[in-house]
Amino acid sequence: MERRTRLRAGSCQAHVNGACPCLSGSTTLAYNAQNQLIYRNDPAGNIIEPVYDDAGREIHRKVTTLAGGFDGDVRRITTAYDTSGRVSTVGQYDNATPGSGSIVDEVKFTYEAWGNLDTFEQDHNSAVGAGGSVDDYEVSYSYAKATDGRHSVRRSTMTTPSGNVITYNYAGNGNLHDWEANRVTQVKDGGVVLAHYDYNGGGHVVGIDLREPDVFDVVYSGSSFPELDRHNRVISDTWTKDLGTDVDFYDVDITYEDDGTISRTEDNVWVGRDVAYTHDGLKRLTAAEEGTWNGSSITA
């Protein structure tokens, strides 16, 4: 069973029929009985055909027709899964037919006993682990069991291709309960703190301090949260460079509609960068007008 849909450029109208040829300025889509995309013919004439296994997982994405003027280095993306159904490898090939052609590049995922990602490997020019390859890169992770608060297995370190060991700290001293709640307090490279995070009682991030560039974003002041509304939504977002006299390089106020959609953003750093958003009855964005907000409308 196959279902085809034609999308006309500019009209956004869909037509469903048994056999719809791809006309100029239209895109043809075909689906299988599980409503999975199996065919796409774009206005330029490129044809992409995904292939699925018996479990409904995509195993190949083939470029069966390549239009002129498009890069053809990659003609197929092949995904393999382990016995637990997790993605194991993703490789790109220069031939659309499975089992044919040469591999262009590949990434590989290996998991530890708890199901967490153990290693991520990548080769820019061939298969991961290919003989003679000099472009293999690996990122590995370690985990520790948390027995206080919420019992879980959480990430403790990440080792980068350069050998740097990044440590995730969960503070539990003083009034902090990140240890029990499994919230990362600091990210460190050796003994150097790269980032520090603060949370409110609901677990929302309310403070970010990036130590290397010396910039921070804080939405609280003392025991209050003036930059959050009563729904814990950010209504004023400010990034500051930590200098002798601090400089706000990003400062935007956000206004929401009653249904939660953003209706307006006002840029307090750059003139003429305010934006008013219009949505339809289904909360879909229909227009965004940029300029200067004068209190009731956008002006040029």
The percent of residues above 90 in pLDDT, for the chain, comes to: 80
* Average pLDDT of the segment spanning 187-213: 94
* Residue 67: CB atoms within 10 Å: 14
Per the structure block, which two tokens stand in for 264? 């307006």
Q: Each residue of 92-120: pLDDT tens digit?
A: 999 999 999 999 999 999 999 999 999 99
pLDDT for residue 178 is more than 60: yes
Average pLDDT in the 62-86 region? 98
42 to each of 17, 22, 23, 59, how far by Cα in Å?
17, 8, 9, 22
- Interatomic CA distance for residues 146 and 154, integer angstroms: 7
Q: What SS3 class is residue 262? A: strand
Which pLDDT band, with edges at 50, 70 and 90, does 134 fall under? confident
Q: How many helices (H) and strands (E) does the chain have?
A: 1, 23
Q: Is it the case that residue 19 has pLDDT exceeding 70?
A: no
Alpha-carbon distance of 119 to 111, in angstroms, equals: 7
| Structure token digits, residue 108 | 């590989």
Q: Which residues pair with 267 in a beta bridge?
A: 252
pLDDT of residue 20: 44
- Of 266, 270, 271, 263, whose CA–CA distance to 253 is shortest? 266
Q: Residue 43 and residue 25: Cα distance in Å, rounded?
A: 5
Confidence of residue 179 (pLDDT cuts 50, 70, 90): confident
> pLDDT value at position 248?
98
Q: What is the pLDDT of residue 24?
A: 55
Confidence of residue 13 (pLDDT cuts 50, 70, 90): very low
pTM: 0.78
Decide if pLDDT at 8 tops 70: no
Q: Where are the alpha helices (DSSP H) in the chain?
A: 178-181
Q: Where are the domains of the chain?
A: 201-300
User: Residue 91, class by beta-carbon neighbours within 10 Å (0-12 exposed, 13-18 middle, 19+ buried)?
Assistant: buried
Mean pLDDT over all residues of the chain? 91
**Residue 14 clears pLDDT 90, i.e. is over it:** no
